[in-house]
């Protein structure tokens, strides 16, 4: 079923990607069902701008022309796009907010996993803020300033607060505490690709 746009104009489409659905096609005939393919059923001009992990839900943008795709891709590359995620993590961070700066690199023997690598890793930075806490978990707002693969998942696991439901970086007992990865792309703020005016897009987390 094609997703319902959260925002739509002549330049771009914003939609809410469900958890468990690929953002774009993968390798093999069994990995062709994805958000992009479903969206193109109603919007055949939709073009990919960025991606979310299969396990992550939330805001994804698609361009509606090559010119808009170039401008949006440039905005992401030049870090003109502010991103905010929400996650529920194991444990309760001692501080109300913090910054994680740990370089990340592919863990080639265990692909698709990534690893913290002080020598060969690429710089990665995540700011976080505690929104709420419970007996054995906390709800965090996350702002990634870089876009490394699995950055939020690995950064939080590395500081001892893996995301609930994370099948890659959480221990089995933490993974089992949620039916899905509790990570959601909640907000994007960016310059509109045609007008340059600030555009803020919001999509509340389903958890």
Backbone angles phi, psi at 144, to 5 degrees: -80, 135
* 53 CB burial (10 A radius; 0-12, 13-18, 19+): buried
* 121 CB burial (10 A radius; 0-12, 13-18, 19+): middle
Picking from 203, 193, 117, 104, the residue whose alpha carbon sits closest to that of residue 146 is 104
State the alpha helices, DSSP H only, in 121-199. Answer: 151-158, 172-175
Rounded Cα distance, 38 and 43, in Å: 9
Tell me which of 16, 53, 90, 166 is the catalytic residue.
53
Backbone angles phi, psi at 60, to 5 degrees: -130, 140
Q: Is 53 a catalytic residue?
A: yes
Give the active site residues.
53
């Amino acid at each position: 079923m094609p997703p319902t746009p959260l925002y739509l104009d002549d330049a771009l489409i914003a939609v809410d990607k469900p958890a468990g659905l690929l953002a774009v096609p993968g390798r093999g005939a069994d990995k062709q069902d994805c958000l992009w393919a479903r969206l193109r059923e109603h919007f055949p001009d939709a073009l990919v701008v960025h991606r979310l992990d299969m396990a992550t839900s939330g805001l994804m943008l698609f361009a509606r022309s090559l010119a808009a795709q170039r401008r949006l891709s440039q905005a992401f590359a030049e870090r003109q796009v502010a991103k905010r995620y929400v996650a529920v993590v194991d444990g309760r961070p001692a501080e109300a907010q913090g910054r994680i700066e740990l370089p990340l690199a592919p863990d080639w023997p265990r692909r698709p996993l990534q690893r913290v690598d002080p020598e060969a890793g690429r710089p990665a930075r995540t700011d976080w803020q505690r929104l709420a806490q419970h007996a054995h978990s906390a709800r965090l707002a996350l702002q990634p300033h870089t876009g490394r693969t699995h950055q939020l998942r690995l950064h939080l696991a590395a500081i001892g607060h893996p995301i609930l439901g994370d099948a890659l970086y959480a221990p089995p007992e933490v993974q089992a505490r949620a039916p899905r990865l509790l990570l959601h792309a909640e907000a994007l703020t960016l310059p509109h690709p045609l007008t340059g005016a600030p555009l803020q897009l919001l999509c509340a987390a389903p958890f």
